[in-house]
Amino acid sequence: MAGSYPPDKCGVGDYTAQLANALAARPGIEVAVLTSLSAGIPSDLTEVKVFRVMQNWRLRNVLQIKQVISKFRPDVVHIQYPTQGYNGRLPQVFPVVMRLLGFPVVQTWHEHYVECSAVNWLNLLACNGLVYVRPDLVSKLPHWIQVRLRKTPLVYIPNASTIPVARLSVEQEHSIKWELSGGKPIVCYFGFAYPNKGVERLFTIADPSKHHLVLICDLNDEHPYQATILRLMEQAAWKGRVTVTGFQSAQRVGEILAVADAVLFPFPNGAGEWNTSLKAAEEAGAFTVATTQDNDLFGYHESKNIYFADCDQISEMQVALHRYLGTRKKPMIKNVWEEVAMKHEQLYRTL
């Protein structure tokens, strides 16, 4: 179950789709996804059954979910938290409902408990297994939750990129780069434009006399933070030196990463291996600057082509961008989702 699923704009929704398809490709596994009605045009031409039935996630719709579950009769119910599409309290009580109906419940928490409004103490009443993607999640759980989960299988399964690695000819690379920046070096960001992403920092880290910013995200002037980004674009130094692509398909994002001279993730609270965007940039081979709170990661990592800086060291990120701009490593052509699916199946079979 996930509140969002492609073509919805949601990182956890994309993660859910990749996991569902990878699981469905394994022998003897049948997968269904319960999700929201989509405003976009779905393309569910996979082995996964997708039930797009939820108009909202309010408590009164619990019977609607029960009808879907009764049709599919799963061996395991797996719920993803959080997603953009959840807009009610139903996801918090859903695990209890499923346990009362006799189904084992697995939950994946993509954020720390104290940061995630989609989970609360009710989730703990019906959790037969907990998957987490942040390596420090368990250590940062409140003590009473650690005690409550002491007999629950807690399984760390690292995130994987949802962006395919693009294979482009030289002519295609030149064409895409010219289209985006007129041939100037591209400094890129992709993801959602929210305050916790630090998108405004790109305008300080990058140099308008040398770089062209490409923002792969939606910007809406009715959103206060995004309006700030739009105003920065209109400053004399940056006017005409920023391209906003809007939301793009995974394939198109992969193509842009293939021609980017640098990718920046200057998150105020730090990035990490749980960030699928960071993994996508690494797999594409693009030089990446990212912030971190882990002192052991500071500096340039040649094998990953990533420079990690302290969250507040803007000048350090400027220096790193100048030094490593255009550095690329060989793209990683590997289906990591097969391993992710295998680890999930191993957990399911223990329940």
Res. 168: pLDDT tops 60: yes
Q: In what order do the strands lie in the sheet containing 262-265?
A: 242-244, 212-216, 186-190, 262-265, 288-292, 306-310, 299-301
Higher pLDDT, 113 or 220: 220
Domain 170-324: state its class.
alpha beta
CA distance 1 to 126: 15
The CATH classification number of 11-160+336-348 equals 3.40.50.2000
pLDDT bracket for residue 42 (50, 70, 90)? low
Per-residue pLDDT at 333: 80
- According to the model, what pLDDT value does residue 334 have? 79
Residues 6+ apart with CB under 8 A from 304: 282, 288
Q: What is the pLDDT of residues 131-142, one digit of tens each?
A: 999 999 999 999
Strand segments (E) across the chain: 32-36, 49-54, 77-81, 105-109, 129-132, 154-156, 186-190, 212-216, 242-244, 262-265, 288-292, 299-301, 306-310
pLDDT at 41 > cutoff 70: no
Confidence at residue 77, expressed as pLDDT on a 0 to 100 scale: 96
End-to-end Cα, the chain, rounded Å: 18
Residue of 320, 209, 226 lying closest to 265 (CA atoms): 320
DSSP string, 81-94: E--TT--SSHHHHH
Q: How far is CA 49 from CA 33, 45, 55, 280, in A?
A: 6, 9, 18, 27
**Kind plus residue range of the DSSP H or E element containing 172:** helix 170-181
Distance from chain centroid for Cα 34: 19
Q: Mean pLDDT, to the nearest integer, of 246-272?
A: 95
* pLDDT on residue 200: 98
The predicted model scores a pTM of: 0.88
Bridge partners for 34 per DSSP = 51
CB atoms within 10 A of CB 91: 25
pLDDT at 299 over 80: yes
Residue whose entry in the numeric block shows the structure tokens 């400027």: 318
Instruction: CATH 3.40.50.2000 in the chain: give the residue spans.
Output: 11-160+336-348, 170-324
What are the DSSP calls for 20-65, one per residue?
HHHHHTSTT---EEEEEPPSS-----SSSEEEEEES---GGGHHHH
Per-residue model confidence as pLDDT tens digits over 7-25 = 888 999 999 999 999 999 9
pLDDT at residue number 40: 59
Taking each helix axis as running N to C, give the angle between helix 90-100 and helix 62-72, from 0 to 180 degrees, rounded to the nearest 10: 50
Q: Report strand pairing: 288-292 vs 306-310.
A: parallel
Instruction: Give 272-295 as a DSSP string.
Output: -TT-HHHHHHHHHTB-EEEEES-G
User: Does residue 257 contact residue 135 with C-beta atoms inside 8 Å?
Assistant: no
| pLDDT interval class at 44 (50, 70, 90) | low
Q: Which residue has the tokens 């703990």?
A: 124
Tokens describing residue 261: 């001279």
Strand partners of residue 156: 132
Q: Which residues contact 213 (CB under 8 A, 6 or more apart)?
A: 186, 187, 188, 189, 202, 203, 206, 238, 241, 242, 243
